[in-house]
Structure 1
Amino acid sequence: MRIVGLEAYVVECEIKRHYRWRKGLPISPPKQEICWLRVVTDEGVDGWAVSSRGYIVADLVRRWLKEIAIGQDPLLKEQLWHKVWEVDRIEEFPIYALGLLDIALWDITAKVANLPLYKLLGGARDKILAYASTVTWETVDDYLRYADECLALGYKAIKIHAWGDFEQDGKLAKILRQHVGDEIALMYDGSAGFRYEEALKLGHMLEEANFLWYEEPMREFNIWQYQRLCDDLDIPILVPETADGCHYNAADFVVHGACDLLRTSSHYKGGITGAMRIAHLADSFGMYVEVHGDGLPNLHLCGAIPNTRYYEILVISDPKVEKEEQGELGIDSEGYVHLPQRPGIGWQIDANELAKKSFLSV
């Protein structure tokens, strides 16, 4: 089997529900530009992957990924994964582009094996609990109302993205805990909004509210600061999420005592190959690894990794309607998401229709 073509399709989609994050971060744009990557083989088995920042990714496909992949065996994923990382030394790929080819190659491999990806990767479970991951809402009452709606749908866990004010966020955490009771898992994501002193004070408030984890409170440039925070807090610190370097970088956080839990994902950690390296790294140290973000590749990671606990689902403004729109990626009445059983990652794409909708094809 050989790769005979790489195709990139950029599609512009209107964002139906606008949202914001903490202070200092931009609000959601009016539209999203995504890029679908298609890897074509000489045996009729194609692989797919999708990324945000579509025009940037399409340019990288045109200038680099075609040269790296065409003519190669798509089942030699390790070889091609390292080739991408070699080119990264010169090109400095955006973090979301490093694993795109790898995801498509795993899609091909699982289709050849006639297995859903998570089973090919080892298979840890067929369903997993999901947590509702909030955007930033305006008031405390908004958080309480949406929490009630999420719990009524079956969610057993909620992660909050709040305002980026450590005092107000800490108060929200305590009020939310009182509101939902002790049986619901609560997590907090700081979106890297704090300096050490603020992160420490907020961490103590999250401890008082019995939060399950404290995610990315500071930028991840400085491992020493995270080491201090882990030493000074009891609540588990979950990082690195957006730091470059995949498992190489994650290993530094572990060996320096700068995290308690590790973050992994297909889109920020070098595709499926990089994400699984981080999962195995965490397991070797007896740590949990939590998968960042939703979507089919990340759901398959959740099904393959034994030392993970939840699948993340973003909740914006209407949990019930959003659940219906999510289809198979939504929760059941008990809060679980079930793994798809189609061979590969499971996207069902009509390439001809996609080409018609594309604003750019390369």
Structure 2
Amino acid sequence: MILDNAISRAEVRRLVIPLQAPVHLGSARITERTYVALRLTLTDGTTGYAYGYDRGLPLFEIVSEAARRYLGNTLRDKKKLALTALGPTPAPRATMVRGVSLCDIALWDAQSKVEGLPLHALLGTLRDRVELMPVIGYGMTPDVAAREGEALAAKGFRTIKLMIDGRDLSFDTAVVHALADALPSNVRFGLDAHWSWCRAAEALPWCRLAEETNALFLEDPVAPTGWRVAAELRSRTSVPLCLGEDALDVASLRDMIEGCDILRLDAAASGGIGYALEGLALARGQGRSVIPHVFATLHQHLGFANDTVERIEAILPELGADPIDAFLMHPMQIEDGMLVAPINPGAGVTLDWHSLERFTTHQEVLTR
């Protein structure tokens, strides 16, 4: 039977991919991106893929250890493996969750291929279009914000996310107002603060900026562990808050709900597709909507299968800030600002494994 297929081989790679041109985010100059990619092979030869950002973690070693715990187990064991591979005690779980995330995604990718279905169909397709929200914010100035916003609106995008500095209110005010003034009335924008503040009082001036410019949301005003601060902030502002992209598990996501109106789910960081499905159920039960965090070719499947997802975020390929996109075998399909449901079997994460070899700095091959 399909679910009796077992994992016979795991290949883990650390990839360092240079950007075609450097980009700037605040004071940081980014010239390359580091990822860890995983390819699992089943006994029938089917391969499943996954990848995630390195984020300065020893992610190569973490994924290798997680994959070792998956070897020899079957597709049927996905849910059990996502628990047991975290380790027998609580201590390693905060670290191991990112390794388990990639293993779980790769298994769902493999199962979808064995079934001959795109992941959204395996989950139960509800719609064939979902809104795409492009991200801007690299090398921002007021002129750049206005120019990029106008260009995206002209392409049919209805929502844009702007990454702000979060330290210089005068600068952010100029950039946000430039974007707001450049957009037509039917195009909205949200703001991403990247954990800029520790106390509600620090965040309030930016909340007022978001309110006066009619921003759709303010994302990550505080770190995930600061959900109580976010809850206080939420009571003092009318702008919707977003939290959740770095949740450790569903329990921590449940805490974050108190401080947000929109949940951010990241299958590649917090437990895989199984975690994301639990997060969607939690969001629905608590009356929250969901915007998944990047990796649009993967997370789009959640949007096509669940209407709790209000839109899908993406760093568009033309920005050049997420270079692994160039190695995806099935890139996003976009029409008039909307993602179109893919028909290819899998979870949308199949990589050109051979072409990525030249960017590999570490590799481990595990066999049963």
Question: TM-score, normalization: structure 2?
Answer: 0.86
1:287 maps onto 2:291 in alignment: no
Q: Which residue of 2 aligns with 1:211?
A: 215
Question: 1:60 deviation in Å?
Answer: 2.5
Moved more, 4-13 or 202-211: 4-13
Question: 1:355 deviation in Å?
Answer: 5.0
Check the 8 A contact 1:328/1:337 in 2, yes or no: no
Q: CA separation in 2, counterparts of 1:223 and 1:197?
A: 14
Change (3 A) 1:31 1:136: closer
Question: Which residue type is aligned with residue 190 of structure 1?
Answer: A
Q: Which residue of 2 aligns with 1:181?
A: 184
- Residue aligned with 2:224, SS: coil
Check the 8 A contact 1:135/1:314 in 2, yes or no: no
Q: Which residue of 2 aligns with 1:249?
A: 252
Question: 1:102 deviation in Å?
Answer: 0.3
- Residue aligned with 1:10, SS: strand
- Residue aligned with 1:147, SS: helix
1:128 maps onto 2:130 in alignment: yes
Q: Which residue of 2 aligns with 1:36?
A: 37
Question: 1:134 deviation in Å?
Answer: 0.7
Q: Which residue of 2 aligns with 1:160?
A: 162
- Gaps of at least 5 residues in structure 1 are none
| CA displacement 1:99-129 (0-9 Å, x = unmatched) | 0100001012212221100111122322211
Question: 1:278 deviation in Å?
Answer: 1.0
Change (3 A) 1:166 1:217: farther
Q: Which residue of 2 aligns with 1:199?
A: 203
Q: Give the one of 49, 56, 60 matched to 2:62.
A: 60
Check the 8 A contact 2:292/2:309 in 1, yes or no: yes
Write 1 or 2 for the structure with the bigger share of strand: 2
Check the 8 A contact 1:8/1:361 in 2, yes or no: yes
Q: Which residue of 1 aligns with 2:114?
A: 112
Question: 1:335 deviation in Å?
Answer: 0.6
Alignment of 1:271-350 (within 5 A): 271-315=272-316, 328-329=331-332, 331-332=334-335, 334-349=336-351
Check the 8 A contact 1:127/1:337 in 2, yes or no: yes
Q: CA separation in 1, counterparts of 2:358 and 2:171?
A: 48
Moved more, 81-90 or 337-346: 81-90
Question: 1:151 deviation in Å?
Answer: 1.6
| CA displacement 1:122-178 (0-9 Å, x = unmatched) | 223222111221124342111101111112222221111122223432343334223
Q: CA separation in 2, counterparts of 1:315 and 1:198?
A: 31
- Residue aligned with 1:86, SS: coil
Check the 8 A contact 2:36/2:52 in 1, yes or no: yes
Change (3 A) 1:358 1:171: closer
Change (3 A) 1:32 1:206: closer
- Residue aligned with 2:171, SS: helix
Question: 1:239 deviation in Å?
Answer: 0.7
Q: CA separation in 2, counterparts of 1:140 and 1:94?
A: 41
Q: Which residue of 1 aligns with 2:144?
A: 142
Q: Which residue of 1 aligns with 2:259?
A: 258
Give the % identical residues: 23
Question: TM-score, normalization: structure 1?
Answer: 0.87
Question: 1:88 deviation in Å?
Answer: 7.5
Question: 1:298 deviation in Å?
Answer: 1.6
- Gaps of at least 5 residues in structure 2 are none
| CA displacement 1:160-217 (0-9 Å, x = unmatched) | 1122223432343334223213211111111111242231121122112111111111
Change (3 A) 1:348 1:96: closer
Give the alignment's Cα RMSD to 1 decimal.
2.7
Q: Which residue of 2 aligns with 1:45?
A: 46
Check the 8 A contact 1:128/1:338 in 2, yes or no: yes
- Residue aligned with 1:38, SS: strand
